[in-house]
Chain A
């Protein structure tokens, strides 16, 4: 096939395929797919953010448990001290 006839055939194929359009419900399907993806991205982002906060949450838990254990110890000591007999002088 010579160059001009190749170009002619390509131009002809361009003309013949020009009327191709998406189906009527295509735009609605695209918008639905975008909305679905947005929800998926939001959920993934939430999970990703949650994962990045996990070490901090663990550290806070350890500190809280240590603080609670220490606080309980000092409360026990104070109760014990309160139950010792008191000597009063008149």
Chain B
């Protein structure tokens, strides 16, 4: 936990747009990972880091979908208030990133964050997202095209 928590919380924050949500996501991911280790579900085919990234990605996507559903049902605006867990500068950057990525499908968003912000290679991203390297490249191209269109429309 000590070795990976900073890395994973930062990644989850870049996906969810909030440090508090990221902490919840990563905590849940660690519980799932521990359960998988205890029941022998981790086969060691990928590195532990890649495996944890994969669990965090799925948990973050589920959390985001659940939040969007709750917000749609209650009619409330997205929360995203400053929770003091990051510097004001990082908070503003997260807000901007979240606004930018908000229209992208979960798979494109994850691929883009893993590539452009986490600096991972296509092979590692493919392992994390459970798809081929070609599919990763396709998602990246589509995500970048969508972001460019969004900027033009502004």
Chain A residues with CB under 8 Å of chain B are 1-3, 6-7, 10-14, 16-23, 26-27, 29-31, 33-34, 37-38, 41
Residues of chain B at interface, number, CB under 8 A: 38
For A7, the chain B residues whose CB sits under 8 A away are: 116
Max chain A C-beta neighbours (<10 A), residue from B10, B13, B94: B10
Contact with A along B31-58 (1 / 0, CB 8 A): 1001100100000000000000000000
Contact A13/B97 with A23-B85, A33-B27 known, Cβ cut-off 8 Å: yes
Main secondary structure of the interface of A (DSSP, over half): helix
Within 8 A of A (CB), among B8-32: 9-10, 13-14, 19, 22-23, 26-27, 30-31
Asked if A21 and B2 make an inter-chain contact with CB atoms under 8 angstroms apart, the answer reads no
Main secondary structure of the interface of B (DSSP, over half): helix
* Min CB gap B34→A, angstroms: 5
A21 to B22, CA, bound (A): 10
Q: Which 4 pairs from chain A and chain B are nearest by CB?
A: A16-B93, A1-B151, A10-B116, A22-B9
Asked if B10 and A38 make an inter-chain contact with CB atoms under 8 angstroms apart, the answer reads no
* Min CB gap A5→B, angstroms: 9
* Min CB gap B38→A, angstroms: 7
Contact with A along B55-78 (1 / 0, CB 8 A): 000000000000000000000000
Contact A21/B144 with A11-B116, A14-B116 known, Cβ cut-off 8 Å: no
